[in-house]
């Protein structure tokens, strides 16, 4: 099979590895290409606007904040540093080129924009429409060969938000929708329930929503509000109202809840504790039955983006969880690039290690087969692992 730059054309086998590794076409279901030009100059605070010109200084300040125990402040500074570094890249095309280097030729990328110009920190230099248009040009680039799968995003309270989603789908050929409730809205917002979700169902568009306690918050949105709107349970009214909607709750609940599960476990005397852990709640929701042999939430998915960058601690648990065929059929591979830029492992390292840890069959399922079903490219019935035994998981 032809190679480019010493890489297997489809599967990601190291040069000279041979074997059956070269026939998996990976779809990374969670990447970002937006730049500092799409982030308000006053984010996260006007006093920090100047520091964005010196990304190295931001990194140092984040380290000091973390050492002093200010974890939330450190996280905000680290995020600002990523935005600043991305702003120097020269546009979405340059960021895409950086992630393409980490993956085999032929890998596809689901690109998720962000609308940060309407969250209370002032306008961005380039608004959401411009961000969407730039992404559309990348997706249409014949040199990319259809490897860029663009999603639209919106803030449901913004005037014209629904019309912009329609424009992206009908005029620009976008394939899905990204939601970020922590910016300031619940997933059952009236505009989403009355207009957006019915439109997604009619057009067969998947939805992906941030589902982690970390991330950006809209100005004036408390942590409690952000958590309430981002929690897995917040999507129950949506999943009940639109059982045909394919919804991915990204990050598999997030690193904080994975770490709590791994390090602290669950109390056998408090059955509700599992519902408060988002990782556990997502697993329970995906595998829940409807009493008739079907799924309680047939449209529910999750991805492993960012969370799996704590590789050694979390991957053994993921490997065990995926022994449950009902769960394995609803997990997607994703990385959350470029938010992973400050992590110890590179995208390439995580992808290869995950492939080895899960084995070819499971890796193929989450990185190739499941994404095609979630994107609506093949029927859901084709994603099951009927031969896989259901795992005897712990109470969690």
Spacing of C-alpha 293 from chain mean position: 29
Positive or negative, the Cα torsion across 240, 242, 246, 251? negative
What's the pLDDT at 284? 96
Q: Which position has the higher pLDDT, 393 or 1?
A: 393
Q: What is the CATH number of domain 3-35+92-383?
A: 3.20.20.140
CB-CB contact of 363 with 328 (8 Å): no
Element of type H or E holding 255: helix 255-264
Residue ranges per structural domain of the chain: 3-35+92-383, 43-88
Distance CA 339, CA 75 (A): 11
Query: What percent of the chain shows pLDDT beyond 90?
Result: 59
User: Mean of the pLDDT values across residues 381-387?
Assistant: 42
- Structure pTM? 0.84
When pLDDT is cut at 50, 70 and 90, the band that residue 286 belongs to is: very high
Residue 339: per-residue pLDDT: 63
| Res 47 pLDDT > 80 | no
The pLDDT of residue 104 is above 70: yes
* Triad 161, 163, 168: Cα angle to 5°: 100
Using 50, 70 and 90 to split pLDDT, how confident is the model at 151?
very high
Q: Name 342's bridge partners.
A: none
Is the peptide bond preceding residue 214 cis, with omega within 30 degrees of 0?
A: no
Q: What is the per-residue pLDDT for 348? A: 86
Spatial distance between the Cα atoms of 6 and 21, rounded to a whole number of angstroms: 15
- 295 neighbors 330 (Cβ within 8 angstroms): no
Condensed to tens digits (0 to 9), the pLDDT of residues 117-144 reads: 988 888 888 999 999 999 999 999 998 8
pLDDT of residue 57: 63
What is the 3-class SS of 325-361, one letter each residue? HHHHCCEECCCCECCCCCCCCCHHHHHHHHHHHHCHH
Tell me the sheet residues that pair with 151. Answer: 176
Residue 219 confidence (pLDDT) above 70: yes
């Amino acid at each position: 099979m032809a190679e480019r730059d010493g890489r297997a054309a489809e599967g990601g086998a190291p040069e000279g590895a041979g074997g059956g590794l070269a026939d998996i076409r990976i779809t990374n279901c969670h990447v970002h290409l937006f730049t500092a030009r799409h982030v308000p100059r006053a984010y996260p605070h006007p006093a920090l606007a100047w520091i964005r010109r010196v990304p190295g200084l931001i990194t140092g300040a984040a380290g000091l904040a973390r050492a002093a125990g200010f974890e939330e402040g450190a996280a905000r500074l680290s995020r600002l540093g990523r935005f600043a570094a991305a702003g120097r890249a020269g546009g979405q095309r340059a960021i895409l080129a950086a992630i393409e280097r980490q993956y085999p030729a032929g890998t596809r990328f689901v690109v998720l924009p962000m609308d940060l110009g309407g969250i209370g920190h002032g306008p961005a230099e380039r608004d959401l429409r411009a961000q969407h248009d730039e992404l559309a040009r990348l997706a249409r680039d014949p040199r990319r060969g259809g490897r860029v799968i663009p999603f639209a995003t919106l803030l449901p309270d913004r005037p014209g938000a629904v019309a912009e989603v329609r424009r992206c789908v009908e005029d620009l050929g976008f394939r899905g929708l990204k939601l970020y409730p922590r910016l300031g809205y619940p997933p059952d917002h009236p505009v989403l329930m009355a207009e957006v979700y019915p439109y997604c169902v009619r057009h067969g568009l998947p939805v992906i929503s941030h589902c982690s306690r970390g991330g950006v918050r809209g100005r004036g949105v408390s942590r409690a509000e952000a958590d309430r709107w981002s929690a897995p349970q917040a999507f129950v009214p949506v999943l009940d109202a639109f059982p045909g909607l394919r919804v991915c709750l990204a990050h598999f609940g997030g690193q904080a809840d994975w770490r709590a599960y791994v390090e602290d476990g669950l109390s056998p005397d408090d059955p509700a504790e599992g519902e408060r852990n988002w990782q556990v709640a997502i697993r329970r929701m995906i595998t829940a039955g409807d009493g008739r042999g079907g799924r309680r939430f047939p449209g529910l998915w999750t991805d492993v983006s960012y969370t799996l960058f704590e590789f050694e601690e979390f991957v053994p648990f993921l490997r065990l969880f995926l022994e449950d065929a009902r769960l394995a059929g609803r997990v997607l591979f994703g990385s959350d690039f470029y938010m992973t830029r400050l992590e110890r492992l590179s995208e390439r390292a995580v992808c290869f290690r995950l492939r080895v840890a899960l084995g070819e069959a499971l890796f193929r399922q989450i990185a190739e087969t499941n994404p095609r079903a979630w994107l609506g490219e093949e029927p859901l019935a084709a994603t099951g692992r009927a031969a896989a035994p259901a795992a005897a998981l712990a109470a969690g």
